[in-house]
Amino acid sequence: MIGPTLIIHGSDEQKAEYLPKITSGEHIWCQGYSEPGSGSDLASLQTRAVRDGDDYIINGQKIWTSGGHRANQMFCLVRTDPDAPKHRGISFLLIDDIKNTPGLSVRPLINMAGRHHFNEVFFEDVRVPAKNRIGEENRGWYVGMTLLDFERSGIGTTAGQRKTLEGMTEELQNGPADERERYRLGLSDLVISNNVAKYLGYRIGHIQATGNVPNYEASVIKIFQSELGQKIYNYGIKMFGLSGQLIPEEPTAPWSGDMPEQYLLAVPSTIYSGTNEIQRNIIATRGLGLPRS
């Protein structure tokens, strides 16, 4: 997500510094967006960054930071002008080497699947060079929304769902005939929907590649794909019967318990990156021209 965003908004120096390390895998990034009081209403974020010479000094907290315990870099939205309208007082900063940054601490959050995927991040007088700001000061909201459009396109998620469907198809092909008859039509519908999601994602990529901004289009794919993921993994659990509910720790669990775990991971997908209710409002206002509710 950060690579394509840098291509659009980054300076030549920033592109030269970061893009090679992104493509080589040297840099592993996490996202500093959500806060305890700023999730769906992200523009109300309160993490402050105050200019001090050639640096910004950051204080505040981020939450639901996926992969923050594995990452060595962070892109972050911070408030640089508390007196400006909330969308216009935000800047977009890159924080290098977060594991060794003084004042920055990462603490684990365990999800309902029992896995450590999320984190909360605390900033206490964290210094970040001003040269690490992407775009203009106080105009970072627009950089951040570009990145969210790339996230919502979800090409990688679509590919993962396709692999799951291929595995489910193989299970039916090798299973009893009555099982094939029971589940084949439902599985076919899911495969059709997965192909629709793929081409919706391609549409987002094409819009951005031609220098345009996907407004409601990114919301369409986000809703469609996140709800499809829940349907796929729920259907997979049904296909395996009662044993399909067994978690990875159970030695007899089909697919090593991957199906129920993936279902649990799919549940919050309709919440993060902007809840699906918010996405439907975006489609209504920006796509259909309807008034705000």
List active site positions. Answer: 151
CB atoms within 10 A of CB 242: 7
User: Residue 225: what residue type?
Assistant: Q
What distance lies between CA 27 and its chain's CA centroid?
A: 17
Distances from the Cα of 221 to the Cα of 61, 88, 197, 277, angstroms: 30, 27, 7, 13
Q: Are 95 and 76 in contact (CB under 8 A)?
A: yes
* Residues 280, 227: Cα–Cα separation, whole Å: 13
User: Residue 33: what residue type?
Assistant: Y
Q: And the tokens for 240?
A: 């395996």
* Residues 12, 235: Cα–Cα separation, whole Å: 47
